[in-house]
Amino acid sequence: MTDFPPSAPDAQDPVTALACGMPKAELHIHIEGSLEPELVFALAEKNRVPLPYASVEALRAAYRFDDLQSFLNLYYACADVLRQEEDFYRMGLAYLERARADNVIHAEIFFDPQTHTARGIPLATVLQGLKRAQAEGEKLGVSSRLILCFLRHLSEEEGLATLEAALPYLDQIDGVGLDSSEVGHPPGKFTRLFAKCRELGLSTVAHAGEEGPAAYVWGALDLLQVKRIDHGVRAMEDPALVARLVKEKVPLTVCPLSNVKLRVFPDMAAHNLPQLLQAGLMVTVNSDDPAYFGGYMNANIRAVQAACHLSARDWYQLGKNSFDASWLTPETRRAYLARLDDYFRSQGYGGEIPSQS
């Protein structure tokens, strides 16, 4: 499928236009975090769920956070409107349509079953809706995978129970992750759970090093044995950790707008994405919870470029990393990387493609 041209506002900056227009993968997206206020209100009305906000505008005004926990409180409240298979389908398809408009051609999507099963929503309902959305996404030209995330503020026993409930559906799940409140909930809390997931042949990722310390990244690698770190920006505080991440080519799925919104960094100019790239880390750009954090993939790209002034080669590397860090089959990965190369050549930036790629 032909990639969309970048939107008009990017035309004033050729590098921003290049990055927005390139085919890419998104590897850090919480589907519940793509729930826009308009859809929240529509589903609340359909399902007769009372909301503590008088209007869509009032809900948008509530999207001001001091930290991760204050965001999560609102996040879980809005998720309460998701009650039926159709709701999960509408939410999933809305994200995939928006992603395709930003030239995302592959997405690895987190979902939080415990958020829904705690409200009496069967896991099958969640999965059936999301799988329908994935099928529609394929027609749009967006391949996707599903990552079942365990909530780290809950107990390991609750996580094990969730895994047990998911056993009949493992053919619909591509891997597992760990998200929610990081501080006070180190990776080691879930060692047995992740060992069981590995025994089942599931790919594993974990949020670490966002608000939590670099030690949490070590824990995710050594105790949970994950092969990809979500966020990981605080890894730069530990040179030995950086060296290991580079040597082992462990991807970091970084979310710039989210990091600024949650005050991990005071502003985008202070973000360490350029330093992560310079250190040789396999870093990617992602939107995290785009409905809450002010933008989808290309909004993140625009914000990063406006503040950090990356080069065309940097953006090529970020695009390449997004596919290299994915769970795509080798054959599909090669095909997507060829599309990336063809795109850069077609835009007059073929010289930015390193010879080894």
- Name the nearest CA neighbour of 40 among 17, 23, 60, 21: 60
Q: Is 28 annotated as a binding residue?
A: yes
DSSP one-letter string for 281-324: -EEEE--BSHHHHT--HHHHHHHHHHHH---HHHHHHHHHHHHH
Token pair of 278, please? 């310079």
Q: Is 30 annotated as a binding residue?
A: yes
Q: Is 230 annotated as a binding residue?
A: no
86 tagged catalytic:
no
Q: Of 36, 85, 210, 211, which one is the catalytic site residue?
A: 210
- Detail the DSSP E strand segments found in the chain: 24-30, 104-111, 143-151, 175-179, 203-204, 206-208, 229-231, 251-254, 282-285
- Name the nearest CA neighbour of 339 among 356, 319, 317: 319
Token pair of 357, please? 């790629």
Name, in order, each residue with C-beta under 8 angstroms of 304's C-beta and a sequence gap of 6 or more. 256, 268, 271, 273, 285, 310
Handedness of CA 325, 328, 334, 340 (dihedral sign): negative
Query: What is d(CA 49, CA 309) in angstroms, rounded to the nearest whole number?
Result: 45
Token pair of 141, please? 């030209």
Q: Is 207 annotated as a binding residue?
A: yes
Q: Which residues are annotated as a binding site for substrate?
A: 289
Catalytically active residues are 210
Q: Which residues are annotated as a binding site?
A: 28, 30, 207, 288-289
